[in-house]
Structure 1
Amino acid sequence: MRTPSSPGEAERAEGPAVRIGALAPLTRPGWVEAGRHLLAGLELAVREVNDSGGIAGSPLELVVRDTAADPQKAAAAVDELARLGVAAVAGEYHSVVARAAAARADALGLPYLCSSAVLDALTEQPTERVARIAPAQSHGWRIYADFLLGAGHRRVAVAADPSVYWVSGTRILRDHLAPRGGTVVELDMRALTPAAVCDALVDHRATALLLLVGHPEPAVPLVKAVRHDRRLADVLIGAPAGQPEFNEWAAALGDDGAAIPFLSYRPEHLGPLGTRVETVLRERLGEAPSFVAFEGYDTVVVLADVLRTQGAGTAASWPGVVVEGTRGQIRFSRPPGISTWQWAWAPVRVVDRDPADPARFRTLHAG
């Protein structure tokens, strides 16, 4: 068990602790950097809740479990957290893992607030117990498709791994692009080498290649192959899922990792709360916090509000939430086609790393 509060911090609130289970990918093959940022945001918010008196005088405690991007491990963790008596489950970054966690939490009658996973079908059936902070994939990826169209890209190739998340993303892109004169060609990364992908891009006369694949493999060698193929000098590389957000991407690719547009779920300019939280998170992480860290912080802000107003036994009262998060006011509703309660919506931008200064992000399109 891992808790974020020191004994001194916990003593600021009296009474038995109110526990929240936290899921995050903290070991490979999960995206560890994303998990670290998510956890930093969760922990900071818990510390601040306790500094302000906790939940009705009781300290908030985070019980952290590593999912390692494994759906079965996540489901087992939810079972364990339920036995430990947590008031709710929070977190997770990988969509297929969050889906397994949501299904198990719903079956157990345990509220789950998903921080960062975007897959539309987070649960198979509509449920009152599950809510989400991150925008649904269909919302963000349509905005990304609008960016492609606005930039003149109508012959789009996707290099895709076999995953429900990537399949869903491809379908969203195709459904949005096709009525507007766009085409999407799928390149199966189970069968193609990076060199073969380059040849396919030439054959299909694609003007954009989207990376619907894992990091670092095969994303890093694929980017390097395309960047250094003279035939593809004018081909845009894109990564709608957000891989270039993290410093690990920049470290692995250097200059090759710049000018690759991705979806970012934070506004261009933060308000007072977001600015303050960004400063503290930067100190805790030793680097600029990603939007995933803000999602973690906002998750606890929401749960603390629900627990204070509704009590630990009724933490699924999502419609009554009205709180100020790091990226705007958070309310929950049920957008069409979404089976969970949803913040509709967090800010959505298409950004990239500036080739002249890869540490700086440029806004290319706003949803």
Structure 2
Amino acid sequence: MTTPPPPLHSDGPSVRIGALAPLTRPGWAEAGRHLLAGLELGVRDVNAVGGIAGRPLELLVRDTAADPRRAEAAVDELAALGVVALAGEYHSVVARAVAARAAGLGLPYLCSSAVLDALTDEPADRVARLCPAQSHGWRIYADHLLAAGHRDIAVATQPSVYWAAGTRILREHLAARGGTVAELDLTALDPAAVCDELARRGATAVLLLAGHPEPAASLVRAVRADQRLAEVLIGAPAGQPEFAEWAALLGADGSGIPFLRYRPEELDPLGARVEAELREGLGGAPSFVAFEGYDTVAVLADVLRSGGSSGAWSGVDVEGTRGRIRFSRVPGVSVWQWAWPPVQVVDRDPADTGRFRVLHSG
């Protein structure tokens, strides 16, 4: 039997939320910077209309650097400092550690960007998630591959619970529709050997289930330079090409690589206003991760203003930057889930690497 979240309350001049993000290597620091930009803009907007019952909302930011143990220590520290909730994180293995520690402390946690279905081992009423579960998004990605005629798929992968879960989702979804998935182990194969395997197997697509910038960037360069693989599609369901660092690093080689992102093709007025302000603050186009950060604060502010009563996640009904946000229980997902944010498969246009093309929506 699960227990509903306790009321959210705090003493002091401000209402404190603990914000977790990968802001330094080996974390995906650019994703962390976008997530934090969205969280901070959300806090500014909440405080501009009076905060929480007249008290300002305050972020206490901690860098996880993609390290689960460091994140657990941050949760303990933030709890001791009196935060009423935790927010954020991008890396799934880190978010799992945060969720487990937060649940153990009875501290509500709203996960912004980590998609792993099993965010907790057991059902957790104190944990909720904004981004779609991996199984939802990656099945949409697999449908795009099938629609584009790709049934013999290879995945170039590193050891990780996240990459292993993605491989399993793809294999099960494609196998039921006549497709195959072959695994290429990047602990045993360098980029040249991966190219040889792709040529030998006759795969029509290779998916980068690997870290950014390396070894993903080296794999892209190797495949692009190999004439045997001129017709092979490179894919990146985890979203590496979303960020400006990708385009700066790879230029034209980084275009034409389909990836998942979680935003609608057309933003409503709130989304458009937030996008403009994020662009100014970031000095460039905001990723979907920045919108996830903003929406995280919008949800928490709604819960706090309502008094954070029992069953708080089930009572959420908030206008977000990418649609109306409500939470429910989804089969196979252990936490409260927004089902579902908009999902797109997009790529960078080879004719203009700063432009995204929408290839598929789900």
* Superposition TM-score, scaled by structure 1 size: 0.95
> Kindly, what percent of the aligned residue pairs are identical?
77
Which residue is 2:106 aligned to? 109
Which residue is 1:224 aligned to? 221
Residues 1:147 and 1:256: Cα distance change in structure 2 (over 3 Å): same
RMSD: 1.0
Partners of 2:338 and 2:177 in 1: CA distance: 28
Partners of 1:233 and 1:48 in 2: CA distance: 48
Q: Which residue identity is paired with 1:274?
A: G
Q: Which runs of 5+ in 2 are unaligned?
A: 1-11
Residues 1:315 and 1:45: Cα distance change in structure 2 (over 3 Å): farther
Q: How does 1:41-56 map to 2 (within 5 A)?
A: 41-56=38-53
Q: Which runs of 5+ in 1 are unaligned?
A: 1-14
- Is residue 2:160 matched to residue 1:163? yes
Which residue is 2:275 aligned to? 278
Report the Cα offset of residue 315 of structure 1.
Answer: 7.9
Partners of 1:244 and 1:315 in 2: CA distance: 40
Partners of 1:362 and 1:334 in 2: CA distance: 33
Report the Cα offset of residue 359 of structure 1.
Answer: 0.4
Which residue is 1:328 aligned to? 323
Which residue is 2:9 aligned to? none
- Kindly indicate whether structure 1 or structure 2 has the higher relative contact order, using CA contacts under 8 Å at least 6 residues apart: 2
Which residue is 1:303 aligned to? 300
Secondary structure of 1:129's partner?
Answer: strand
Say which of 233, 248, 251 aligns to 2:248: 251
Which residue is 2:84 aligned to? 87
Q: Which residue identity is paired with 2:349?
A: D
Which residue is 2:359 aligned to? 364
Secondary structure of 2:124's partner?
Answer: coil
Partners of 2:311 and 2:299 in 1: CA distance: 11
For 1:153-208, what per-residue CA distance to the aligned partner results, in whole angstroms no more than 9, with x for missing partners? 00000000100000000000000000111000000000100000000001110000
Partners of 1:180 and 1:203 in 2: CA distance: 23
Partners of 1:75 and 1:206 in 2: CA distance: 41
Partners of 2:213 and 2:181 in 1: CA distance: 24
- Is residue 2:110 matched to residue 1:129? no
- Is residue 2:55 matched to residue 1:58? yes
* Superposition TM-score, scaled by structure 2 size: 0.96
- Asked if the contact 1:88/1:315 (under 8 Å) is kept, the reply is no
Partners of 2:305 and 2:104 in 1: CA distance: 25
Partners of 2:235 and 2:68 in 1: CA distance: 27
- Asked if the contact 1:130/1:316 (under 8 Å) is kept, the reply is no
Secondary structure of 1:269's partner?
Answer: coil
Q: Which residue identity is paired with 1:34?
A: A
Partners of 2:204 and 2:291 in 1: CA distance: 33
Which residue is 2:97 aligned to? 100
Q: How does 1:138-287 map to 2 (within 5 A)?
A: 138-287=135-284
Partners of 1:133 and 1:242 in 2: CA distance: 17
